[in-house]
Amino acid sequence: MLKCLCFAMLACVLAGSFAEAQVRRDEVTLHSGHVLFGSVTKSGPQNAGELELLLEDGTKLILNRELYRSWKPEPAAMAEYRERLAQTTRTVESQWELAKWCEEQKLKPETDTHARIVIQLDPEHELARRALGHQRIRGRWEDPEEAKRAQGYVKIEGRWVDPDISEIEKLTQEYRTKQITWKKELNVLFKQATGSGRNRDEAARKILAIRDAEAVDSLVERLTQTKPDVTPLPQRAAILEVLCEIPTLSSSLALLDYYMTNADDQEGRDRAIQTLAQRAAHKPQVAKRLADQLDVDLLGNREKYTDESTVRENQVRLHRAATALRIIDVRIGIEALISSIRVPYTVTKKFRENAALSGDNVQSGGGTREVKQSIVEENKAAWETLEKFTGQKFANNQAAWLQWWIAENTPANLDLRRDQ
């Protein structure tokens, strides 16, 4: 799809037949991975990143910056190389002369090409063998690369690695390439969808039609950019809708994170958790994370929850986790639910004391005084979830829930009485 999109968006201008004897082979890589060769005749910041590319058949292409991933000019020595190549004959002397010149110009692939032709013509040509990295062992020339290949190794970016590692690295690289491609395409689509151009509605439709699992991570990154709620709500709504239609574990965990942390989109949170309730395959992982979120001291620093706003944030987390467990209907975390029914805190409140009075004059004095106050916050969602899971009706009576839980987990034949 992306490859077709890139070509469809190219502004292609047929410029007739150009009479250049030697067209450079600059290399332009599109987001699709397709590589074009030709002469880049215009480029740079003054053109807003736009490239004008003259292909070898005389076709001129104009590529906007959004259409290509990168480009690199042909090495300056290549034009002279082609001239020398045209004058080179298939003899040892002529091929070796060209190989040496290529080596001086740091044209590695061309150096190897002509050195190999030399040893085809003269298998004992020592300098050509050395240039290719061959070694003379027990009177025979050996190619270390061929030996590595014979042992089953493969070469990746200059390193010889085990085939299993090679496959992992290959898949990793493919994944990275796809992420880069999707990130750039999403940038283009969202720019169009939020603009006022004629492509606005079409771009919005393309976003909502995305179903490629490879797009999930790029969508999630856009959803959670750097600071909470940076992405405008309409964009978040579109991304959430797409994530709800791509049933991968990555999208499920992203939906869970949105449900737990979002502050201003109740409708989006509801959509996220209702979608998770339908994904049976991912419920164990989602439920485990929710049970972890029910830890009343998740970060191990509840003694630092000394202001009321921090207490409220902690209670929101506990409430949402308990509610989500009830909605997805996975019956784990019973003990954590009981612990979160009533949570004690010690908050610090500041009071301003009145200045001392003396007759008709107000004397200096007074100030701010800190007072520590113990409070207990209740989590109604916790006991409502417990009642659904267990059928018990203890409401907010945390002690009754604890006694029931202990009884449920005590073997029937165990006598807890002390020996007399």
The per-residue pLDDT for range 166-202, each reduced to its tens digit, is 566 666 777 788 888 888 999 899 888 888 878 889 9
What is the CATH class of 77-151? mainly alpha
Domain chopping of the chain, boundaries: 2-72, 77-151
| Fold adopted by 2-72 | SH3 type barrels. (2.30.30)
pLDDT value at residue 372:
81
Please give the share of the chain, as a percent, with pLDDT higher than 70.
Answer: 78
pLDDT of 407 higher than 80: yes
Greater model confidence, 26 or 114: 114
Contact between 155 and 143 under an 8 Å Cβ cutoff? The reply is no
| CA distance to 237, 255, 314, 340, per residue, from 336 (Å) | 32, 22, 14, 6
Average per-residue pLDDT for the chain: 81
Per-residue pLDDT tens digits for 22-67: 456 788 888 666 778 788 876 655 455 678 888 777 778 887 777 7
Q: How far is CA 353 from the centre of its chain?
A: 53
pLDDT of 8 higher than 70: no
Contact between 394 and 400 under an 8 Å Cβ cutoff? The reply is yes
| Torsion angle of C-alpha atoms 126, 131, 134, 135, degrees rounded to 10 | 60
Q: What is the DSSP code (8-state) at residue 396? A: T
pLDDT of 217 higher than 80: yes
Q: What is the mean pLDDT of residues 277-295?
A: 93
- pLDDT tier for residue 345 given thresholds of 50, 70 and 90: confident
